[in-house]
Amino acid sequence: MKDLTIVLLNNNINIDTNNIETINYNKENFLYDLRNIKSKYLTFLKDNIDLDDNYLSTIIEKTKEEFDSCFINYTIEIDNKKYAVEGMDAPEVNKVPYQGSYIWSFIYNKEKLIELIDSSDYSKENIEKIFSKRIGIKEPLLNHHHGSNKIINDFIYTDEKKEVKRKNIFYLGTFCNGRFNGYITWLNNLGRCFGDDFDMTIIYDEINDITKERFERYFELIKREEDTLYLADRLFVTYSTYYYPKNLLKLEKNYLFIHGNMCDYKRARRYHHNNYDQYIGVSKACADKAVGYFPTDHIDYILNPIKIDQSEVKPHLKLVSAQRLDPIKRVDRIHNISRILDEENIPYTWNVFIDKKPYEKGVYGGVVYRRSVINPLPYINDADYYVQLSDSEAFCYSVAEALSLNTKVVVTPLDCYKELKIDEEQGFIIPFEYFDEENKDQLRIKVLEMYQNIKKPMQNKLDPSMYSGYKEILKK
């Protein structure tokens, strides 16, 4: 395999190719030609005038190293002066844009170069403009100086850039931001487990309020700016982030964490994940299924860390209602209470068995509308409260069923409930006026009290004699 390809910018250049592949620059097929080059590195040659005898051997020697781009100039042209011709040292080059032969005097990692060229105009002039905005080095450039100046990953490095150095940088891709997925949960648990003992930073392009609130307790959060160079001892990226920004770098190691089964994750298969030193699955099964999708046959795995703070684990509130869809049954009051539960971040599930769903969607917050069932008793028995908020009831069977099952109730102040002797030990009676907008604070107090009292037992006070009247009217 050839170590290097030279793109001849002028068709009349003749050089001893030996162990080097050469292709002629073709504006129409430029990107296609680059993608089909088999060697790892390539460079450009504008002409072969005044090249040193050891030009080729020096370039071949450089390709034995690992780099993204490397300056190795022999004919630098600035202000129409060819410094190599007269043997003069080239002046310091520290301003952008860099132009002329200087632009074409780098050896490039082919894959990195292809990432850099994002234009449909492949004229030499336009390519030169692309390079001139992306390339820079710190030291003065001297003629015939074969330095190993590694233009840091993806070619962005200029004197004007600020530097931010951190030990462990996690890049939060826009695709992951705000999503409730394994990557976000992974970061959250890393922060819980290791945030107090390690320097951990999240670099982001965009972040929403939900994600920010979840992470700012554990991580330093930094919005990525284009004029800043971020240097990390270790950089962590997820496999669903198909690139990391061109000014986000590492000094020691880049880690790609795999948070899904690659055989099932079709979208991620299109991405090239070849910028990483180590590939790590979040389980052995995940690592095994990742083989063949990454440029290595060895995929490590580390089980996801988990840490739960007991103080943050709230009990789950279980509510149930059973009714028909009728204005007098007041489904809207269910949502008065559910909105408060949502606002207070109280975890709850509210099963509403109803003959017809009042909304197109079957879910409203934590309220789940379900088709009516003949026997709702298992749900009522399992609930913390049975809720009936109607304007009128002659005798509510489902409330009586709940009381018989020792399930507390939440009801409106109807006369029929007074006959059932419902009191504070059996649940809550919510006044009608509490559902008015001006009394919503009073309703909130009641709802919070409901939640706080879910562990208190309910005493069944139903009097069996209440059914005795039927014995008198039924004949044997």
Per residue in 51-86, pLDDT (tens digit) is 555 667 767 777 777 766 666 544 445 455 544 433
- Give the model's confidence band at 306: pLDDT under 50 very low, under 70 low, under 90 confident, else very high: confident
pLDDT value at residue 48? 58
Per-residue tokens: 270: 């299109």
Mean local confidence (pLDDT), 323-350: 90
pLDDT value at residue 52? 55
User: Are the C-beta atoms of residues 239 and 225 closer than 8 Å to each other?
Assistant: no
Is the per-residue pLDDT at 320 higher than 90?
A: yes
User: Are the C-beta atoms of residues 388 and 407 closer than 8 Å to each other?
Assistant: no
pLDDT value at residue 103? 56
Highest-confidence segment of 21-30, 301-310, 444-453: 444-453
pLDDT value at residue 456? 80
Q: Which domains does the chain have, with CATH numbers?
A: 4-155 (3.90.550), 162-301 (3.40.50), 314-452 (3.40.50.2000)
Across the strands, what pairs with 388? Answer: 411
Average pLDDT, the chain: 76
SS3 letters for 341-365? HHHCCCCEEEEEEECCCCCCCCEEC
Is the per-residue pLDDT at 266 higher than 70?
A: no
Per-residue tokens: 327: 């204005």
pLDDT value at residue 350? 93
In terms of DSSP bridges, do strands 363-364 and 348-354 run parallel, antiparallel, or are they unpaired?
unpaired
pLDDT value at residue 407? 92
Q: What percent of the chain has pLDDT over 90?
A: 21
pLDDT value at residue 379? 92
Is the per-residue pLDDT at 289 higher than 70?
A: yes
Is the per-residue pLDDT at 285 higher than 80?
A: yes
Residue among 444, 445, 413 nearest 339 (CA): 444
Q: For residue range 408-452, list pLDDT tens digits in order.
A: 999 998 888 887 878 777 889 999 999 999 998 999 999 999 998
DSSP structural state of residue 464? G
Mean local confidence (pLDDT), 334-359: 88
Q: For residue range 375-395, list pLDDT tens digits in order.
A: 889 999 999 999 999 988 888
H/E segment holding residue 281: strand 278-281
User: What is the residue whose two structure tokens read 């790609």?
Assistant: 256
